[in-house]
Amino acid sequence: MEISERKTKILRAVVDEYVAGAHPLSSQEIRDKHLPDLSPATVRSELSALEEMGYLVQPHTSAGRIPSTKAYKYYVDHLMTRRELSIEDAEYIRGYFEGKIMQVEDLVRRTAKVVSDMTNYTSVIVLNDIEKVRIKQIKLVDLTDGELLVVIVTDAGVIRDTTVNMDIDIGEGYIATATQLLNNIFTGHTLEEVEMPGSMIDGELSSFRQLFDNVIDALKRRTNSQVYLEGGSKILDYPEYRDIDKARNMIATFDNRDELASAMSMAEDIGISLKIDKDERGGIEDCSVVTARYSIGGKEIGKVGVIGPTRMNYDKVISVLNCINDILNEGVEDEQKE
């Protein structure tokens, strides 16, 4: 059965009302609010047809209808009005990224915070494996006797600063020589490319072995995809999760970073990924996950997503993700180069 124009109007009305109020819609309510020209019998007939087609669900015999997973997918693909955020909302988001941003962790936290604040859902960011990121520069700073600060800068921003306690005396000129050596070895390469045999720093370079090994260790500590979560408690504000078992399941999911990373996976050829409930591979039960690629200056460094109830305000979420992507690609890279 095809979805006629009348069925489409009814389906849109049910989704919009349920997203706003979280209560099943009766035929009388739909008619009174959206289709007063139709008879109650006609509305009931169309609701029954949509239920048979799998777009609506009736939780209880005497209750109204609510959208199914199929309905939400159809709504996002065909019925949702895609619009840009207001100027005020866009400026509010831009304000989160004002000022000097040195570390990608800082940028990620700001992004996660503004996504959660703007959508009132839980936000998740998954950073790519650092092995895919190229090293631009390594800086050394002498802190105290025998202690160095190592700052590793990549094409995605400053990703690691770590201290190294040296077992040898750091004489005059050591830092300058070590800095030049490390940059000659690392600059322009990925982690995979610089895991070299120890013989490369044997002989006259042996005094730099400890420093070299510490830089490799600092990089390796970031080789697994990192997951940042913001607003985890917000999902419990929605009536769907007032059930104690559902609440516990959600808390357990947020604690399982591997599961979150899996939920954020997306096909290579799509810009926005939508997973609703467990019907999707890697989806989360009783939740929707909207995911977008997370780029800085056109370079993808991970994924940013929103987790919320299946009756999520998809229009607002997608608009926020698109706005942030535009801001990051237009301005943040230039700020980092200043």
61 and 99 inside one domain:
no
233 and 308 inside one domain:
yes
Q: CATH number for the domain including 333? A: 3.30.450.40
Report the pLDDT value the prediction gives residue 66, as an integer from 0 to 100: 93
If you average pLDDT over every residue of the chain, what do you get? 82
109 and 135 inside one domain:
no
Q: CATH number for the domain including 157? A: 3.30.390.60
Report the pLDDT value the prediction gives residue 336, as an integer from 0 to 100: 46
Could you give the number of structural domains in the chain? 3
Give the long-range contacts of residues 183-186, CB within 8 A, separation 24 or more.
Answer: 183/137, 183/138, 185/212, 186/135, 186/138, 186/215
234 and 301 inside one domain:
yes
122 and 244 inside one domain:
yes
Q: How confident is the model at residue 200 (pLDDT cuts 50, 70, 90)?
A: very low
Gap between the Cα atoms of 50 and 77, Å rounded: 17
Chosen domain end from 17, 44, 79: 79
104 and 230 inside one domain:
yes
248 and 325 inside one domain:
yes
203 and 91 inside one domain:
no
230 and 323 inside one domain:
yes
Chosen domain end from 204, 220, 236: 220
Report the pLDDT value the prediction gives residue 203, as an integer from 0 to 100: 47
Cβ-count burial 296-325 (b if 16+ within 10 Å, e if not)? bbeeebbbbbbbbbbbbbbbbbbbbbbbbb
Q: CATH number for the domain including 73? A: 1.10.10.10
Q: Which domain holds residue 49?
A: 5-79
pLDDT at 224 over 70: no
C-beta of residue 161 within 8 angstroms of C-beta of residue 149: yes
Give 25-76 pLDDT, tens digit per residue.
Answer: 899 999 999 999 999 899 999 999 999 999 999 887 667 899 999 999 999 9
pLDDT at 159 over 60: no
- Its pTM surpasses 0.75: no
pLDDT at 91 over 50: yes
